[in-house]
Amino acid sequence: MGEQPIFTTRAHVFQIDPSTKKNWMPASKQAVTVSYFYDSTRNSYRIISVDGAKVIINSTITPNMTFTKTSQKFGQWADSRANTVFGLGFSSEQQLTKFAEKFQEVKEAAKLARDKSQEKIETSSNHSQASSVNGTDDEKASHGPAEAHLKSENEKLKLALTQSASNVKKWEIELQTLRESNARLTAALQESAASVDQWKKQFSICRDENDRLRNKIEELEEQCNEINKEKERNAQLSKRLEALESEIQEKERELKDLRKQGEIIPQLMSECDFVTEKLEASERENQNLEDKVRSLRTDIEESKHRQRHLKMELKNFLEVLDGKIDDLHDFRRGLSKLGTEN
């Protein structure tokens, strides 16, 4: 089956600075996938993380490893084979807790696998020694055709025991190397733990600086809002200025027209004087006409008075005339009567 992922999460990956053994260096620009892999053929566990085409974590878990939580969202472990310390920054405390629990579970599984491997080695060694002893007793008991076969088996077991002893020496050397590396990494881890307070102080300073920058950003945003308002006012003023400029141009055209009209004012003034003189002459003539009208009205009144007087006189005359006519009629009738009588 090969290696299979058994747990996957996402985190920011860091490695300890090899020169200072204190400062963390980011191994990824952003959060990447970090997975536990189990190799069934080798019975081993690894933590693997890949950023693009670059492998940033390839750590085989051994029983001697320890995962340490240094903050609510950050944890680390030392890898003696890679000669470094890995750090993971998670987005939440729950993710860190799950990763730490899985690390402890895998660590226990690796310990069981190592113990089983050592038991197999010890069993093989004991079996080789027992086979060697039994072979000697058989040689003493019987010297038949099986002697050659037993010697052959004995040689094979001796060879396996020699190889096993050689492997044990290699494992002891590797274990010593791992212990030395673990000691160095433990010292580095202690130095890293000692620098946690410094990191906390730096974090506090950065947080204060972040708050100050946030306040500064808010002030800048307020200033930007004021600038935007000022821009709007400037735009309104620009529009108003354009309107005023158009009004000024209109007034200038009107002024130009007035200046042209002003050029004909003297002529208009002379015409006005001429009209004024005519008006004055007309007023004088009007006054004379009014005087004449008043005189005519007086004459009319006098004429009316004379007419009334003449009417009265004519009426009196007519009355006298009527009397005379009546007298003539009477006289004519008298003459007629006289003529008839004669």
Q: What average pLDDT does the segment 260-265 reach?
A: 80
Phi and psi of 78, rounded to 5°?
A: -100, 135
What CA–CA distance (Å, rounded) separates 279 from 275?
Answer: 6
The rounded percent of the chain whose pLDDT value lies above 70 is 75
Burial 76-105 (b: 16+ CB within 10 A, else e): bbbbbeeebbbbbbbeeeebbeebbebbee
Query: Worst-scoring range by mean pLDDT, 2-16, 123-137, 182-196?
Result: 123-137
pLDDT at residue 183 in the model: 60
**Quick one: pLDDT band at residue 141, thresholds 50, 70, 90?**
very low
pLDDT at residue 216 in the model: 84
Mean pLDDT of the chain, nearest integer: 82
DSSP state of 41: T
**Quick one: pLDDT band at residue 133, thresholds 50, 70, 90?**
very low
What CA–CA distance (Å, rounded) separates 35 from 16?
Answer: 20
Does the pLDDT of residue 276 top 90, yes or no?
Answer: no
- Per the model's pLDDT, the better-predicted residue between 163 and 274 turns out to be 274
Whether the CB-CB separation of 111 and 45 falls below 8 Å is answered with no
pLDDT at residue 142 in the model: 44
Whether the CB-CB separation of 191 and 22 falls below 8 Å is answered with yes
Q: What average pLDDT does the segment 234-246 reach?
A: 89
Q: What average pLDDT does the segment 306-316 reach?
A: 90
Q: What is the DSSP string of 126-160?
A: HHHHHHHHHHHHHHHH--STHHHHHHHHHHHHHHH
For the chain, the domains span: 5-115
What CA–CA distance (Å, rounded) separates 203 from 208?
Answer: 8
43 backbone φψ class: left, alpha, beta (φ>0; ψ -120 to 50)? left
Whether the CB-CB separation of 46 and 3 falls below 8 Å is answered with yes
Q: In the CATH hierarchy, which fold is given to the domain comprising 5-115?
A: PH-domain like (2.30.29)
76 DSSP β-pair partners? 68, 87
pLDDT per residue as tens digits for the range 167-224: 556 666 656 655 665 566 565 556 656 655 666 776 667 677 778 888 888 888 888 7
Q: What is the DSSP string of 205-255?
A: HHHHHHHHHHHHHHHHHHHHHHHHHHHHHHHHHHHHHHHHHHHHHHHHHHH
Does the pLDDT of residue 102 top 50, yes or no?
Answer: yes
- Measure Cα distances from 266 to 262, 263, 273 in Å: 8, 7, 10
pLDDT per residue as tens digits for the range 106-124: 999 988 888 887 776 666 6
Residue 37's CB is within 10 A of a number of other CB atoms, namely 20
Does the pLDDT of residue 154 top 60, yes or no?
Answer: yes
What CA–CA distance (Å, rounded) separates 43 from 24?
Answer: 32
Per this entry, what is the length of the chain?
342
pLDDT at residue 139 in the model: 47
Query: Worst-scoring range by mean pLDDT, 203-212, 272-281, 323-332?
Result: 203-212
4 DSSP β-pair partners? 38
pLDDT at residue 143 in the model: 47
